[in-house]
Amino acid sequence: MTQGRPMRADARRNYERLLKAAAGAFAEHGENASLDDIAKRAGVGSGTLYRHFPTRQALLEAAYVDRIEAFGVRADELAGERPPGEALAEWLYELAVGSLQVRGMRALLGSAVTEHGGAAALTACGTVVHGAVTRLVKAAQAEGTLRGDVEPIDVLRLTHGVTTAAELAGAGEREIRRYLRLLTEGLRAG
């Protein structure tokens, strides 16, 4: 990716500052925090912000990349200590809770599982999350606790959808858990 040349020292400094400012602003005002404001907080001009991060998405992703990677790690942790079906369920739950608690992250995850006109233009964060869910899903399917006719990305999208539903309900973690259980067990009686 960013080979070419190893970024000039001032450029890197500003980059770091922007990330820190962005994380603060997004946490405080949600995904629609003012970008100009973020630039001001970081003590740089708005031009500098837009050079480093061409779109809001790009900045959002860069600001949360460490959290996203933590989810990747967490997936393997869970896979090591629980049976596959449970590991998947718990991971999805934690992902959903995280999506709601950390403002702006839900939008990020949403964009990570979006079909961009067919081209698999997966963002970096999309790659991590998609990798993690794929491992968990395959294991659960091999174990026989998860139906075989779903793709990992389906599971991710449906979880995102359920999170949306929970948010509409003015959600707490209890609502998320309930909706995820409904998704797992199905709405049908019996």
Q: Does 5 sit near DNA (CB under 7 A)?
A: yes
Which does residue 14 bind out of DNA, a second copy, none, counting CB within 5 to 8 angstroms by kind? Answer: DNA
Gap between the Cα atoms of 138 and 161, Å rounded: 21
Q: Which is nearer to a second copy, 9 or 189 (CB)?
A: 189
Gap between the Cα atoms of 25 and 59, Å rounded: 11
Gap between the Cα atoms of 102 and 124, Å rounded: 19
Positions touching a second copy (CB under 8 A) are 110, 113-115, 117-118, 141, 144-148, 150, 153-155, 157-158, 160-166, 168-170, 179, 182-190
Which does residue 36 bind out of a second copy, DNA, none, counting CB within 5 to 8 angstroms by kind? Answer: DNA
Residue with tokens 């449906």: 158
Q: Does 31 sit near DNA (CB under 7 A)?
A: no
Q: Does 26 sit near DNA (CB under 7 A)?
A: no
Gap between the Cα atoms of 134 and 65, Å rounded: 19
Q: Which is nearer to DNA, 32 or 101 (CB)?
A: 32
Which position among 1, 3, 9, 186 is part of the footprint of DNA (CB under 7 A)? 9
Cβ–Cβ < 8 Å for 126, 133: no
Q: Does 30 sit near DNA (CB under 7 A)?
A: no
Q: Does 32 sit near DNA (CB under 7 A)?
A: yes
Which does residue 1 bind out of DNA, a second copy, none, counting CB within 5 to 8 angstroms by kind? Answer: none
Torsion of CA 89, 90, 95, 101, to 10 degrees: 130
* CB crowding 49-60: b at 16 or more within 10 Å, else e: beebbeebbebb
Span 33-62, contacts to DNA by CB under 7 A: 34-37, 43-48, 50-52, 54-56
